[in-house]
């Protein structure tokens, strides 16, 4: 009899654990990670990307002193059916880096960069760049483990992104009038002056795949996710479930 009671209690406990928390159909969470996939690609391929930028018309530039300020997300989801959550996601990411002259053996460019400057061309600082990315997306979570304590899911996000790229102090413009008499020097000076304090704004598609995510806890829970897309590659966070 005692064994039957024990087995019954264990079965009841298991059923209670595996039952979905129907009273907690909504959840809200925040999370953070170091950087997104596109941002990581920019770090590894940034110099190649800069070759297509207008700064390349004036000098061979390189990225240096990369600074990551993190990737942050705010998400809301509603459990429509036991295996599907529908919601929305907002993300924000910011990083910065210096632009340095790397040298391209162009005497005109180097004349412009050296004229009126006390600096050498050895890693000459051209300026600083700040990149920000904000996204808003519809978010779907496919929950294939959905208990009162543990939820395991995959996800898909589709939306729109707003990228802001600002460069400052790109060029001091200290070119003597005598040097500007050379039309080639004047052309390079015009290019560098034109990109000084330049602000670029882009609208891009936002896309993210969550291969696996885990939420652990009751009304208050912690989470961990792996992402491929405009969300952080790896992120941790916490949230709350409510009616």
Q: How many domains does the chain have?
A: 1
Q: pLDDT tens, 188-228?
A: 777 666 666 677 788 999 999 999 999 999 999 999 999 99
C-alpha 168/C-alpha 99 separation (Å) is: 10
* Long-range contacts, stretch 188-194, CB < 8 angstroms, 24+ apart: 188/58, 188/108, 188/109, 188/112, 189/112, 191/54, 191/57, 191/58, 192/58, 192/59, 192/112, 192/126, 194/54
Please state, for a pLDDT cut of 90, what percent of the chain lies above it: 41
The enclosing domain of 71 has a CATH number of 2.40.160.20
Q: pLDDT tens, 101-128?
A: 766 666 766 766 666 554 556 567 777 8
In a domain, 85, yes or no: yes
* This prediction's pTM: 0.75
Write out the residue range of the structural domain in which residue 178 sits. 21-242
In a domain, 1, yes or no: no
Lowest mean pLDDT among 14-23, 85-94, 174-183, 223-232: 14-23
């Amino acid at each position: 009899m005692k064994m039957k009671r024990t087995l019954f209690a264990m079965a009841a406990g298991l059923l209670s654990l595996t039952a979905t928390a129907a009273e907690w159909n909504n959840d809200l969470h925040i999370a953070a990670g170091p950087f997104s996939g596109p941002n990581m690609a920019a770090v590894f391929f940034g110099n190649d990307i800069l070759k297509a930028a207008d700064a390349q018309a004036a000098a061979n530039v390189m990225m240096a002193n990369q600074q990551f300020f993190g990737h942050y997300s705010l998400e809301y989801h509603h459990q429509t059916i036991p295996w599907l959550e529908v919601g929305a996601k907002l993300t924000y990411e910011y990083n910065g880096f210096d632009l340095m002259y790397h040298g391209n053996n162009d005497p005109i460019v180097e004349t412009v960069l050296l004229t009126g400057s006390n600096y050498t061309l050895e890693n000459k600082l051209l300026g600083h760049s700040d990149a920000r990315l904000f996204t808003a997306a519809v978010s779907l979570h496919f929950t294939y483990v959905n208990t009162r304590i543990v939820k395991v899911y995959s996800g898909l996000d589709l939306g729109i992104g707003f990228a802001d790229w600002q460069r400052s102090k790109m060029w001091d413009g200290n070119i003597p009038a005598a040097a500007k008499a050379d039309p080639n020097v004047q052309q390079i000076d015009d290019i560098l002056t034109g990109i000084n304090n330049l602000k670029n704004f882009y609208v891009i598609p936002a896309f993210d795949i969550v291969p696996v995510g885990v939420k652990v806890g009751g009304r208050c829970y912690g989470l961990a996710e792996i992402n491929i897309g405009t969300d952080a590659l790896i992120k941790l966070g916490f949230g709350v479930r409510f009616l």
